[in-house]
């Protein structure tokens, strides 16, 4: 039995599917049982536990062979990330009480940095606090999610262009599909180790904005060009999208970190892993979802 957090999201769901396909039992740790009905129908044990309820989380982690742990994405954190710190404190307390044999965490590329991360600071907090636990741990640090291109489907289809913030447009960045992250997490949960591991994960190749535009052109059967948004226009652009000042600062700091190379894989003693899903495969799924929303 493996406890999975975030099963209603892309990465947690992919992890659960991989475990079920391997014949393993899965316990879903959710905040709302109603959102996990489809998983219950597949034989998944569903347990309610709020992210701030350390006792409830500890009960959910009891008696399992391993835990896949992640914190919910917060795109509008308060200064100092108090929301994340509270969630991580509850998670750490729960794991300390339950003492599962192993934990696999969803972290991020760049999480080894102590500053200049923007939104990724939340994963640095997760790593920093949970590494003190005497439990074998594996931190998966995936590259930029290929699924982030979901925001470009509409503009590419409607206007024939995609707005680009990762620059320059011809620079190829490491990227990875969420399904590959779930596959890696499930595989790691089946392993035995001691101490702490850091798994850097990217896809089979790296991609640029130009690669994405070309792939969208082929799949949409229309020309798609890139529109690099100048750095001095980012704040105004994000303000027009009704983003609050704090989130704007964190978002810009994160993008600057990627563009400068500050947010990158650590290397050294980390394990570097590769997934199998290509940009074209992910875009095809995103286009199908866009045409047939749930």
pLDDT tens series, the chain, 294 aa: 999 999 999 999 999 999 999 999 999 999 888 889 999 999 999 999 999 999 999 999 999 999 999 999 898 899 999 999 999 999 999 999 999 999 999 999 999 999 999 999 999 999 999 999 999 999 999 999 999 999 999 999 999 999 999 999 999 999 999 999 999 999 999 999 999 999 999 999 999 999 999 999 999 999 999 999 999 999 998 888 866 666 889 999 999 999 999 999 999 989 999 999 999 999 999 999 887 655
Q: Which residues of 272-288 are buried (b: 16+ CB within 10 A; e: fewer)?
A: ebebebbbbebbeebbe
**Number of domains the chain is built from:** 1
Residue 177: give its domain's CATH number.
3.40.50.720
Residue 30, beta-bridge partner list: 48
Domain encompassing residue 23: 2-291
Half-sphere exposure (Cβ direction) of 272: Cα atoms closer than 13 Å: 9
Strands 161-164 vs 271-274: parallel, antiparallel or unpaired:
unpaired
Residues 271, 277: Cα–Cα separation, whole Å = 19
Q: Determine contact, residues 73/142, Cβ cutoff 8 Å.
A: no
CA distance 156 to 162: 6
pTM over 0.85: yes
Which 8-state DSSP code applies to residue 36? G
What is the distance between the alpha carbons of residues 208 and 165, in angstroms, rounded to a whole number? 11
Question: Facing residues of 200 across strands?
Answer: 141, 272
């Amino acid at each position: 039995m493996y406890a999975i957090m975030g099963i209603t999201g892309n990465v947690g769901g992919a992890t659960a599917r991989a475990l079920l396909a391997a014949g393993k039992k899965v316990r879903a740790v959710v905040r709302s049982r109603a959102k996990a009905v489809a998983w219950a129908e597949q034989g998944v044990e569903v347990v309610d536990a709020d992210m701030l309820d350390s006792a409830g989380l500890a009960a959910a982690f009891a008696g399992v062979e391993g835990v896949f742990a992640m914190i919910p994405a917060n795109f509008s954190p308060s200064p100092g990330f108090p929301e994340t710190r509270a969630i991580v404190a509850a998670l750490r307390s729960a794991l300390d009480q339950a003492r599962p044999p192993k934990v696999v965490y969803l972290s991020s590329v760049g999480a080894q940095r102590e500053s200049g991360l923007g939104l990724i600071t939340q994963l640095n907090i997760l790593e920093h606090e949970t590494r003190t636990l005497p439990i074998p741990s594996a931190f998966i640090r995936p590259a930029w999610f290929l699924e982030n291109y979901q925001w470009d489907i509409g503009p590419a289809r409607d206007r024939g262009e995609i707005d680009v913030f990762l620059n320059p447009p011809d620079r190829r960045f490491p990227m990875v599909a969420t399904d590959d992250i779930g596959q890696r997490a499930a595989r790691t949960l089946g392993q035995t180790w001691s101490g702490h591991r850091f798994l850097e994960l990217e896809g089979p190749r790296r991609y640029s904005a130009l690669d994405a535009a070309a792939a969208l052109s082929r799949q949409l059967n229309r020309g798609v060009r890139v529109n690099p948004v100048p750095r001095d226009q980012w704040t105004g652009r994000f303000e027009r999208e009704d983003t609050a000042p704090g989130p704007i600062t964190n978002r810009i700091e994160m993008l600057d970190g990627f563009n400068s190379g500050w947010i990158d894989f650590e290397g050294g003693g980390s394990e570097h892993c590769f997934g199998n899903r290509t940009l074209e495969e992910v875009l095809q799924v995103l286009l199908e979802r866009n045409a047939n929303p749930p």
